[in-house]
Amino acid sequence: MSNKYKIALIKGDGIGPEIVDEAVKVLDAIASVENISFAYNEYLMGGCAVDVFDNPLPADTISGALNSDAVLFGAIGGPQYDSLPSEKRPEMGLLKLRKALNVFANIRPAVIFDELTEASTLKEEVVKGVNLLVVRELTGGIYFGEPREKKEDVAYNTMIYTRDEIKRIAKVAFEQAMQRDKKITSVDKANVLEVSKLWREVVIEMSKDYPEVRLEHMYVDNAAMQLIRNPKQFDVILTGNIFGDILSDAASMIIGSIGLLPSSSIGGKVGLYEPIHGSAPDIAGQGIANPIATIMSASMMLRDLGELKAADRIDNAIKDVLKEGYRTHDLANFDAKEVVSTEEMGSLIAEYATK
Ligand code: NAD
């Protein structure tokens, strides 16, 4: 009997369908050599759902996601939706899906491939060996806080965290740190924001349960600077929703391309797996998007499902393909033996993963 998983696929907009198709190709290749099988169901979210249902998150997508073992997601958004009222915007679909799945912890590993140190905008000696993990709170903070309003001449949002919300994300970060180098940098703005003062207080309390983990605190402005100055000082970065959003994009440039950063969002019954980048409308439909972040997200999904061997196959295949010198267009200048399309990169990884 093979392990069978029900996967909800949400391809989304822009490059979303292109990159999710490649991840599925790799998953199917893995299924052919490991004792696993996948049953996929596709759901609409984002701009494509607005086009069909006038709703960025149809009820069918929520129930489909909740009734699966995991959700693999591409990206949503596009300029044609920018003028819609905020409730109809594609991004609102994603925010609501995260909330519906109760995936309050977003895990974003940023690990540099030895073959791609040159692709970073930072010096090789600064980035070689970077291996950090951003643990970002995902369903609270200023992105969800009420009240929120835009009037003609004034607009406001609310940055709010409860003790329990901070506790549960801190616990995820401490547990992750225990599997790694046992160091946490908690990023806040406690010199200015009350919400950050509570954040810091709760994280310090939690640290008492993890005496082996070294805990340090850093203001977000300093953290942005330190990420560029010396990213190797970080092991686990624990932070809130908006700070994590911004810092993990900065971390992507350390790694060389935003097309290389995967993420998992966990905490509820069903996990959500997605690249950290957006729908890249500027390159959509050209076959040049890098599918690696999405394929790595599929590997994180397999790991969380307990399919460690299958996940290792994918991670090793990505390393091997890069070692062989295959590069997508975003990495074309960096030691490329051959520049390949989105589809070709997916096929190469699928092939190497089954060797
Ligand atoms: P983006 O991440 O889509 O693109 C930023 C830049 O990175 C672009 O130049 C793009 O071409 C490039 N890029 C992104 N992914 C790439 C990949 N896999 N391979 C090669 N290059 C890649 O960010 P943006 O341009 O600010 O936003 C575009 C749309 O995506 C907006 O509508 C935004 O709201 C949405 N967005 C969605 C998500 C999500 O779905 N999770 C996240 C961020 C932005």
For the stretch 307-354, pLDDT in tens is: 999 999 999 999 999 999 999 999 988 777 899 999 999 999 999 999
Ligand 1 atom at minimal distance to the Cα of residue 283: 11
Kindly tell me if the per-residue pLDDT of 24 is higher than 90: yes
- Residue whose CA is at the smallest distance from ligand 1 atom 13: 280
The answer to whether the CB of 159 falls within 8 A of the CB of 188 is: no
Model pLDDT, residue 335: 75
Model pLDDT, residue 249: 84
Residue of 189, 210, 273, 326 marked active site: 189
- Residue whose CA is at the smallest distance from ligand 1 atom 38: 278
Proportion of the chain above pLDDT 90, given as a percent: 92
Ligand 1 atom at minimal distance to the Cα of residue 329: 20
**Which of the 8 DSSP states describes residue 104?**
-
Residue of 69, 188, 245, 330 marked active site: 245
Global confidence as pTM: 0.93
**Which of the 8 DSSP states describes residue 142?**
G
3-class SS of residue 28: helix
Q: Could you tell me which of 37, 73, 119 has the C-alpha nearest to residue 277?
A: 73
Annotate 159-212 with DSSP letters as a single string: ----HHHHHHHHHHHHHHHHTTTSEEEEEE-TTT-HHHHHHHHHHHHHHTT-TT
Instruction: Find the distance separating the first CA and the last CA of the chain, reported in whole Å.
Output: 23
Q: What does the pLDDT average to over 44-66?
A: 98
Residue 141 CB coordination number (10 Å)? 25
- ∠ CA 322-247-169, nearest 5°, is 105
- 182: annotated active-site residue: no
**Cα four-point dihedral sign 341, 343, 347, 352:** positive
Residue 151 CB coordination number (10 Å)? 7
Residue 305 CB coordination number (10 Å)? 17
Residue 37 CB coordination number (10 Å)? 13
3-class SS of residue 126: helix
| Cα–Cα distance measured from residue 262 to residue 205, given in angstroms and rounded to the nearest whole number | 30
**Which of the 8 DSSP states describes residue 13?**
S
264 φ, ψ to 5°? -125, 145
Instruction: For residue range 195-216, list pLDDT tens digits in order.
Output: 999 999 999 999 999 999 999 9
- ∠ CA 98-27-6, nearest 5°, is 50
pLDDT band at 251 (very low <50, low <70, confident <90, very high): confident
Q: Could you tell me which of 327, 336, 256, 261 has the C-alpha nearest to residue 297?
A: 261
Residue of 181, 249, 304, 315 marked active site: 249
3-state helix, strand and coil shares in percent for the chain, rounded to the nearest 5: 50, 20, 30
Name every protein residue with a CB atom under 6 angstroms from any ligand 1 atom: 15, 75-78, 91, 94, 258-259, 274, 277-283, 289-290, 293, 330
- 13: annotated active-site residue: no
- 219: annotated active-site residue: no
Model pLDDT, residue 158: 98
Model pLDDT, residue 5: 98
Model pLDDT, residue 253: 81
Judging by DSSP bridges, how do beta strands 236-239 and 105-111 pair with one another? unpaired
The answer to whether the CB of 40 falls within 8 A of the CB of 23 is: no
Give the distance (Å) from ligand 1 centre to CA of residue 162: 31
Q: What does the pLDDT average to over 113-136?
A: 93
Judging by DSSP bridges, how do beta strands 70-75 and 36-42 pair with one another? unpaired
The answer to whether the CB of 235 falls within 8 A of the CB of 204 is: no
**Which of the 8 DSSP states describes residue 87?**
G
Judging by DSSP bridges, how do beta strands 149-150 and 155-156 pair with one another? antiparallel
- ∠ CA 9-85-258, nearest 5°, is 45
